[in-house]
């Protein structure tokens, strides 16, 4: 099965252009299933619906969350679709399998006041503080994914006209407007801070770590969690928190769903619609707090 997994991962990489982290997740999920097949003395060729149901039950007994089980079954389903398309199997055992039902999990968002407090934390008297301020302002004004933020190069940003170009999922490029506050802090960062973080004239990365190299996702996550603590924010903070807050605040202030979809780079508007649930819950809370007969 190991060879078939590698063939499948190669297919995902070459034909579908999936990201490195996504490929790693597929490999890990399929290796877990492969280990289960060894335990039950089966093989990938002999898997049937009962085998798959047994594997789901095994995952539940291990205390795995429904979302984790659903993700693993999605990986297995894609794997068997691939085997079937390559004519390595005549029948696809996943065709009649139902995935675990998931409740909609709403993303964590910050209030406007919490965002203001978070963005006020960096010490802009220092080069690293100016960089952090520029990164936070840019993240909140554009709704970029953190991976998109740290992948930005100098020539991706047009400060004179107030927009940037980024590469999203599946290498899909999009142009995103940048607010004037973020433009101002980016200009400040480029004029007096970035050169102090790296003397390398050939370094094209926009945001530089204290090591003089491109800022990493993990490095930025540590920064944002530290600033959240100093701002007294007790909500769970993830690398996507400002992205979620960006989308929610736009919709709360009247932006249309299609525009938000385009700025976020969502291929399907159904993905963007999760934020309408957040704005509805906000309206319900305001109604209950404000109406005398609520």
**Does residue 154 sit within a domain?**
yes
Which member of 81, 169, 225, 282 is catalytic?
169
**Does residue 161 sit within a domain?**
yes
Tokens of 276: 């309408």
140 shares its domain with 81: no
User: Mean of the per-residue pLDDT values for the chain?
Assistant: 86
26 shares its domain with 163: no
- At residue 287 the predicted structure's pLDDT band, cuts being 50, 70 and 90, is very low
234 vs 47: CA distance, rounded Å: 46
Q: pLDDT at residue 294 above 80?
A: no
**Does residue 10 sit within a domain?**
yes
- At residue 278 the predicted structure's pLDDT band, cuts being 50, 70 and 90, is low
**Does residue 164 sit within a domain?**
yes
Strands of 140-251, DSSP E:
157-158, 163-167, 173-177
Domain residues for 205? 112-289
Q: State yes or no: is 108 an active-site residue.
A: no
**What CATH number has the domain bearing residue 68?**
1.10.150
- How many domains does the chain divide into? 2
**What CATH number has the domain bearing residue 204?**
1.10.443.10
pLDDT at 289: 59
The kind and range of the H/E element at 223 are helix 217-230
Q: State yes or no: is 145 an active-site residue.
A: yes
256 shares its domain with 134: yes
Q: Which residue has the tokens 């190299």?
A: 213
Please give the DSSP secondary-structure letter assigned to residue 207.
Answer: S
> Where is pLDDT greater, at 46 or 65?
46
Please give the DSSP secondary-structure letter assigned to residue 107.
Answer: P
The DSSP string of 51-98 is HHHHHHHHHHHTT--HHHHHHHHHHHHHHHHHHHHTTS-SS-TTTTPP
Average pLDDT over residues 73-82: 91
175 vs 281: CA distance, rounded Å: 31
181 shares its domain with 45: no
Tokens of 233: 């924010």
The per-residue pLDDT for range 96-111, each reduced to its tens digit, is 777 665 555 556 789 9
Contact between 23 and 14 (Cβ < 8 Å): no
Q: pLDDT at residue 178 above 70?
A: yes
Q: State yes or no: is 240 an active-site residue.
A: yes
Q: Say which range, 144-148, 191-195, 261-265, 290-294, has the weakest mean pLDDT.
A: 290-294
**Does residue 99 sit within a domain?**
no
Q: pLDDT at residue 41 above 80?
A: yes
230 shares its domain with 166: yes
Which member of 133, 145, 194, 249 is catalytic?
145
Which member of 71, 131, 214, 243 is catalytic?
243
148: Cα separation from own chain's centroid? 9
Please indicate, yes or no, whether the overall pTM of this predicted structure exceeds 0.85.
no
178 shares its domain with 244: yes
The per-residue pLDDT for range 254-267, each reduced to its tens digit, is 788 788 888 888 87
Query: Percent of the chain having pLDDT more than 90?
Result: 44
- Number of Cβ within 10 Å of residue 228's Cβ equals 20
- At residue 277 the predicted structure's pLDDT band, cuts being 50, 70 and 90, is low
141 shares its domain with 206: yes
Which of 85, 100, 131 lies at the terminal end of a domain, its last residue? Answer: 85
């Amino acid at each position: 099965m190991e060879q078939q997994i590698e063939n499948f991962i190669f297919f995902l990489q070459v034909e579908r252009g999936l990201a490195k982290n996504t490929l790693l997740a597929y490999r890990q999920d399929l290796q877990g299933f492969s280990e289960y097949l060894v335990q039950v003395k089966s093989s990938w060729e002999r898997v049937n619906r009962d085998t798959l149901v047994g594997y789901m039950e095994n995952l539940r007994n291990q205390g795995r969350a429904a979302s984790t089980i659903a993700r693993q079954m999605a990986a297995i389903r894609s794997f068997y679709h691939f085997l079937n398309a390559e004519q390595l199997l005549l029948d696809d055992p996943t065709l009649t399998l139902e995935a675990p039902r998931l409740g909609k999990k709403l993303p964590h968002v910050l209030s406007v006041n919490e965002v203001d407090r978070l963005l006020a934390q960096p010490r802009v008297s220092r080069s690293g503080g100016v960089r952090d301020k520029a990164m936070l302002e840019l993240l909140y004004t554009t709704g970029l994914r953190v991976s998109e933020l740290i992948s930005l190069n100098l020539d991706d940003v047009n400060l004179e006209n107030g927009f940037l170009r980024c590469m999203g999922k599946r290498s899909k490029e999009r142009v995103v407007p940048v607010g004037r506050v973020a433009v101002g802090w980016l200009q400040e960062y480029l004029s007096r801070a970035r050169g102090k973080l790296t003397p390398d004239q050939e370094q094209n990365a926009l945001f530089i770590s204290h090591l003089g190299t491109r800022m990493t996702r993990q490095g930025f996550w540590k920064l944002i969690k530290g600033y959240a603590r100093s701002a007294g924010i007790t909500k769970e903070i993830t690398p996507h928190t400002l992205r979620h807050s960006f989308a929610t605040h736009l919709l709360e202030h009247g932006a249309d769903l299609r525009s938000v979809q385009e700025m976020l780079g969502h291929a399907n508007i159904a993905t963007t619609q999760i934020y309408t649930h957040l704005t509805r819950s906000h309206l319900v809370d305001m109604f209950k707090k404000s109406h005398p007969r609520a």
